[in-house]
Amino acid sequence: MSDSKTPLLDELEKGKWPSFVKDLKKLSQRSPKAKDLLGQLELSYKDKKTHWKHGGIVGVKGYGGGVIGRFSDVPEEFPNAAHFHTVRVNQPSAWFYTTAALRQLVDTWDKYGSGVLNMHGSTGDIIFLGADTDALEPFFTDLSSNNWDLGGSGSDVRTPSCCLGPARCEFACYDTLALTYDLTMTYQDELHRPFFPYKWKFKMAGCPNDCVASIARSDFSVIGIWQDNIQIDQDAVKEYSNIQSDVCDKCPKRCIQWDGKELKIDNESCSKCMHCINVLPKALRIGKEKGACILLGAKAPIVEGAQLSSVLVPFMKMEPPYEELKSLIRRIWDFWDEYGKARERIGECIQRIGLGNFLEKIGLEPVPQMVSQPRENPYIFYEEYYEEE
């Protein structure tokens, strides 16, 4: 067992920023697993290599995902960290918890695990780090008896996540929380049993500000948007200063004009970046005809590098039971199941197969918004044009 002498880790405590080492040292006073975790981490810094080894599938009965196995390659030195599995727990929409729920979670984790947790990981789940193999099943039993469920891991639907939406934001163009809950309940099989080529992430953003970063982090983004004109309160506009420099000059489409008395917006040219609305929140409001834009294909840099999502459907009404959206998802999954390679995200698959072929397979008509930089390249061709020639 570690003697808690960690000179290399101690360096990480220096400086003005909070350090996870300080937290682990505090936790190690009551958690043997945290104490051995510190010791193994110190050894990794000394040896300049990780001491977590790959291999070994662990989980709970009936689930193919939700637990990420982690084993030490020096268990004789740090027996309490020999097994240090990660458990993902499905979070409530927009991360709304009661204090009672939080206490219930941490008390259960203290009973079965290391006490180390992460709220929240990039996937969105509550992340519990450091469970023994034997503790997984009783931990899950306690969680599920209190109506918690595991999140996704591996090649499955990862736990859908969303921004606060209409719960606290006036810009929300649809109910992100309701859609997230609906998709989570609808795709339970796909969430708990990996059978895709690779991971699939849903993220729901209520407006183009995209506070959940769906355009960069999710395979399937549902971003709230409006179809009609931005609403303008001309009297409220006059309460602001520096409108020309702060708003008009920074509009990416140069579609706003201010003559000192009246603000005019060329809504046909507006790309709905939200900059003007964010700067003039008392004077400008999103349009009244609300829905969502569907984007596809973002991912982190693993195989082909980082990739932002691209527009697939410029506008779709987003109301229960979301049949149009679910039909689109099913057609995309059918395509991915047939043409996707192992560990290939849907965005990479489309790049390899070609956008035109993808659209034909899922039965979607091409539109100019699907081009990554619309209005900047007039040379847009689709298959049917070649066929007509």
Task: Evaluate whether 49 touches 8 at the Cβ level (below 8 Å).
Answer: no
The amino acid sitting at 351 is Q
The two structure tokens encoding residue 336? 């991915």
Q: What residue ranges in 17-112 does DSSP mark as E strands?
A: 52-53, 67-68, 71-72, 85-89
Q: What phi and psi, each to the nearest 5 degrees, are found at residue 352?
A: -75, -40
pTM above 0.85, yes or no: yes
Task: Evaluate whether 138 touches 183 at the Cβ level (below 8 Å).
Answer: no
What whole-number distance in Å separates Cα of residue 71 and Cα of residue 85? 7
First to last CA, the chain: 76
Task: Evaluate whether 210 touches 169 at the Cβ level (below 8 Å).
Answer: no
CA 137 to chain centre: 27
Beta bridge partner(s), residue 157: 200
The amino acid sitting at 360 is E
What whole-number distance in Å separates Cα of residue 300 and Cα of residue 282? 36
The two structure tokens encoding residue 378? 């007039």
DSSP codes of every residue in 13-80:
T-SSS--HHHHHHHHHTT-HHHHHHHHHHHHHHHHTS--EE-------TT-SSSEE--EES-TTT-GG
Q: What is the DSSP letter of 293?
A: E
Task: Evaluate whether 124 touches 166 at the Cβ level (below 8 Å).
Answer: no
Locate tokens 């020639």: which residue?
Answer: 389
Output the CA angle 283-284-287, nearest 5 degrees. 150
What whole-number distance in Å separates Cα of residue 132 and Cα of residue 72? 12
Q: What residue ranges in the chain does DSSP mark as E strands?
A: 52-53, 67-68, 71-72, 85-89, 113-119, 126-131, 161-162, 202-205, 220-226, 231-232, 256-258, 263-265, 284-285, 290-296, 310-316
How crowded is the C-beta side of 176, counted as CA atoms within 13 Å?
35
What whole-number distance in Å separates Cα of residue 232 and Cα of residue 340? 46
The amino acid sitting at 262 is E
The two structure tokens encoding residue 172? 């929300």
What is the rounded (10 degree) CA torsion for 244, 372, 288, 182? -140
Output the CA angle 177-181-184, nearest 5 degrees. 140
| pLDDT at res. 5 | 79
What whole-number distance in Å separates Cα of residue 318 and Cα of residue 335? 23
| pLDDT at res. 197 | 95
The two structure tokens encoding residue 235? 């009297």
Locate tokens 């990862």: which residue?
Answer: 158
The amino acid sitting at 12 is L
Residues of the chain with pLDDT under 50: 1-2, 375, 377-378
Beta bridge partner(s), residue 263: 258
Task: Evaluate whether 230 touches 277 at the Cβ level (below 8 Å).
Answer: yes
Task: Evaluate whether 256 touches 263 at the Cβ level (below 8 Å).
Answer: yes
Locate tokens 């009936």: which residue?
Answer: 62
| pLDDT at res. 381 | 55
